[in-house]
Amino acid sequence: MRLIAVALLAALCRVGPAAAAGLDLVRIYTDDDPPYVMVSPDGQVMGGTTVEKVTRVMRKVGVPPSVLQAAPWARAYQEAKSHPYAMVFPIAKTRERMQFLDFTFKILDTEVYFYRLAARGDIQVHAFDDARKYSVCVVLNDYRHEYLENEGFLRLEVSSDSTLNAKKFVNGRCDLLPSTETGLASKLKALGLPRERVVRGIKLDKLDSALYAAFNKDTPPEVIARFKAAAAEVP
């Protein structure tokens, strides 16, 4: 028995503390969504306001940068939804997502509003229900897509990513865009358009729009606990 114990200890030393804790199986997914996440043309995560905190947590836990991968949002979400040890960020909390994901730590608080083009004075949204008669640009499986779909919005124009979604909106392919102020301003800047091109409307005040990093719920509790503890220690 002593020989077996010595052999196991030697094996753990060879694989290192991260592998011993199962951290070597962790994979973290995100998508290109400036300013929250910025991805280079060759698919490398370059930075962003949510990436900064997540990478600090990764360093604290001891997982290498290579576990962080960029993917289209629908795929990133599906990976985390389907596979233990998979994390996705930034992601908002919804009732449906809580069935599959542990919302491990909050990254930042945000507020979502409906926006219209300044030239579209014919669009009048004074209350949430007024928006139902207009077409709305959303990203596939994004929390705003899920929320509006659950609220009975029928005229949803779905895009595969947030940049294409913003382009469709400014090109008049839909009437309204649900967005944060920071996210919209960043996309307008990237498109070379002035902020005055759009008008902010009502706040979606019943939508929990805080952004989190979330693990698949079947990830071992000790792995999730390591990330929770690290997140509590970094700014």
pLDDT tier at 8 (50, 70, 90 boundaries)? very low
Nearest-angstrom CA–CA distance, 135 and 173:
8
Indicate the DSSP class of residue 91. E
Residue 45 or 5, more confident:
45
Full set of structural domains in the chain with CATH: 21-109+210-233 (3.40.190.10), 112-203 (3.40.190.10)
pLDDT tier at 80 (50, 70, 90 boundaries)? very high
- Average pLDDT on 41-65 reads 96
The pair phi, psi for residue 42, each rounded to 5°, is -90, 10
pLDDT of residue 10: 39
**Is a pLDDT exceeding 50 seen at residue 12?**
no
pLDDT of residue 16: 45
pLDDT of residue 11: 38
What pTM was computed for the model?
Answer: 0.73
pLDDT of residue 219: 98
In Å, how far are 32, 69, 83 from 40, measured between CA atoms? 9, 12, 26
pLDDT of residue 21: 66
In Å, how far are 30, 56, 77, 85 from 64, measured between CA atoms? 16, 11, 21, 14
Residues written for the chain = 235
